[in-house]
Structure 1
């Protein structure tokens, strides 16, 4: 009888203990994201790497279609049904989510010391006091070129503005290739691949961007007009009918080998690697004169934050600290070549084209796109107006000075710099 009772006691203890273990392991964190193209990378690389070192915490990656993400996320947050971890779009959309009280401050999160103020700028309050998302990746601007075309024509990588136009002249004179693949039909392409690509060279990156926000510079000043003057000189090199050419057309012209140079964002790397049948290289925006400081647009693209309503905040913080680590940086950046880690610890890229882009951080000063923080919150929207004017300048329907005056007038109509 005693033996039976003892067995029963031991069985009960065993069941209770196993229930206790199951409960301890039963913390599941859900990640909200718009990057549905990342699903396989999360399931096969990111989640297994984290869970291997953090038994008891399970991660579920739950993406929404990119065009639906903002609305769907806001609805879930308002209803209290959003996931524990919120993937953060850069700048104003995420700032609005934080200001509604949905994202927690991460100032004290272990690992945040691995990021510079520029790296954190897309997810930091205007006063610079609170950061609310861990930076995950940025995209870098520059130029991708057809190495075979350059070798055939004996062209060296242009380092200065004069060398850049000399290369374009040589390509045009030969006639085999369209010198540069870019269209103006989609407007944003002209601004993003044009104005925001070369502009930091003239307004000196963060120096000019912050001066514009403070009201110490205007868009009609020389550093802001000059990139438009350079863009106006691109027109003869863009090929016939560039005014009707879409972004997809530009991609196709380059990957089919019909154009020699492509003004690029690093996000093109993955696609171009699968489509181009020729060797590719890349170079940063040329400097005005030999010996000048080099500037690149190293634009914050994606971060991740903590839902203030999460019932597993401590476990979520463990995951966020891991996202802030060099281990995560290496996995993510090499899984998505062209989306570069913002971690201060350099990541060696396995993809040679991606490594070329990221190597510019060692010699160029980084900045973000000039219109993205603070200056596009009113109407007219400076970002959208810059699309229009960049296309107009390249098309020749607006002079650089007229374009700058329109942009400054629009900004003045609603933006008053803080004194």
Structure 2
């Protein structure tokens, strides 16, 4: 944190008033301008035309400016600005280690005393922006993305299919689509690799390792990746190969999107962020969504409801009082409903349960009422080895889908790498 050696009297008085304002967020907040740091360049119009004006209606004395940086440069540019003392007052937070590292370095303000954060969010919603022991919070959760499957309603109707609820029904539907021979059963490729892990493994696997129960057991050391529930997930993935498009090993994420958008594939494993893409690019495409099928009828269901974006306060901000007022609004039901409906497929993590206008988004959000939520398996703590588990998972999962690695070998490789550095 940089400090000036001399401060004019006006500045000193302003600092005193700002400090006093911390004890009463809304009534005593000082007037001024807040700058938001973010990597969401596509959201600039949303913030400037919708979100900031909505905040201004009830907080006319506080000016807010949205100042995004291109996603690839955001982390390094933000770090440089924080070190130099030129960063904005509010910092859009990536989940887990990137933001945790900033907090450990004293760059983000502790938010344990923020009423809205404590009142309006569950422990699971807050975990992406807390210390490993859960004692300190440093960002307010904004939204998550939910994983599942999109399906072409026209193709399903022509074949007399219904959204599958169990794995037997899922593979039965794939068999029927394949037998018809008109379209690819699944729109998925392995060229980019990340989809095989972030979209497939951590999504269908949640039903195998029972979501948070299995994830936390790996961190606690009471479970290993070589245990049946993890090996069985890879085994199920391996069964997908016959239903993937011809030449899927060279198919990119964009290719898969185009295949489904053009009506040439019946089912698309995906995340909720893709809703807006297909609404914009799927001319004539009528699609719905279903959650990862459970292993057998009667099983409890689990969904990957992954924490994606939050916001914290620059610890060196000179206007923390107003910044806290803004974060209180960010934690409110008003913001939850606005953001969920304006950024389709990104769901507020608030307990307020906003009403969703988009039909597919509403369907995916309703899964929270039917299933237990979990985050991506290795997102917390487990990526800290070298190479990161995330990178290893991309390789392993895509190779299982490609038929180049057995489920057992995949499990042993991941467990071996994890055991080399992580001691519980």
Is the shorter-chain TM-score for this pair beyond 0.5, marking a shared fold? yes
Q: Report deviation, 1:380.
A: 2.5
1-side partners of 2:115 and 2:394: how far apart?
Answer: 39
1:39 to 40, 44, 52: 44
Match of 2:72 in 1: 67
Q: Distance in 2 between matches of 1:262 and 1:32?
A: 34
Q: State the 1:25 CA deviation.
A: 8.0
Contact 2:304 2:376 in 1 (8 A): yes
CA offsets per residue over residues 48-85 of structure 1, 9 Å max, x none? 01011012100000000000000000000000110000
**How far apart, CA to CA, are the structure 1 residues paired with 2:319 and 2:313?**
10
Aligned to 1:148: 154
State the number of aligned residues: 394
Q: What are the superposed Cα offsets for residues 317-338 of structure 1, whole Å, 9 maximum, x if unpaired?
A: 0000000001000111100110
C-alpha distance in 1, partners of 2:129/2:416? 28
Mapped partners of 2:222, 2:393: distance in 1: 20
What corresponds to 2:340 in structure 1?
333
Q: Is the Cα contact below 8 Å between 2:30 and 2:322 reproduced in 1? A: no
Alignment correspondent of 1:381: 388
The Cα offsets for residues 295-340 of structure 1, whole Å up to 9 and x where unpaired, read as 0000000000011111111111000000000100011110011000
Deviations 1:388-411 (A, max 9, x none): 111111111110001100110111
8 Å contact from structure 1 (residues 269, 337) kept in 2: yes
1:119 equivalenced with 2:129 (yes/no): no
Give me the whole-angstrom Cα distance separating, in 1, the residues matched to 2:263 and 2:285.
7
User: Partners of 1:210 and 1:340 in 2: how far apart?
Assistant: 23
Report matched runs for 1:15-414 at 5 Å.
27-112=32-117, 113-276=119-282, 277-414=284-421
- For 2:14, the equivalent position in structure 1 comes to none
On the 8 A contact 2:30/2:321 being kept in 1, the answer is no
In structure 2, distance between residues paired with 1:264 and 1:43: 29
Return the alpha-carbon distance in structure 1 between the equivalents of residues 199 and 86 of structure 2.
38
Instruction: Find the aligned partners of 2:199 and 2:30 in 1 and give their Cα distance.
Output: 48
The secondary structure found in structure 2 opposite 1:413 is: helix
Contact 2:143 2:309 in 1 (8 A): yes
Runs of at least 5 residues in structure 2 that lack an aligned partner in the other structure: 1-28
SS in 1 for 2:44: helix
Could you tell me the TM-score, scaled by structure 1's length? 0.93
Aligned residues of 1:380 and 1:411 also touching (Cα < 8 A): no
Given the two structures, how large is their TM-score scaled by the length of structure 2? 0.92
Distance in 2, matches of 1:61 and 1:335, equals: 16
> Which structure would you say has the larger Rg?
1
Deviations 1:158-198 (A, max 9, x none): 00000000000000000111000000111111111210110
**CA root-mean-square deviation:** 0.9
Q: What secondary structure sits across from 2:205 in the alignment?
A: helix
Segments of structure 1 that go 5 or more residues without pairing to the other structure are 1-23
User: Displacement, 1:26?
Assistant: 5.1
- Deviation digits for residues 117-176 of structure 1, max 9, x if unmatched? 110111000011011000000000000010111011100110000000000000000011
SS in 2 for 1:330: helix
Q: What corresponds to 2:12 in structure 1?
A: none
SS for the counterpart of 2:190 is: coil
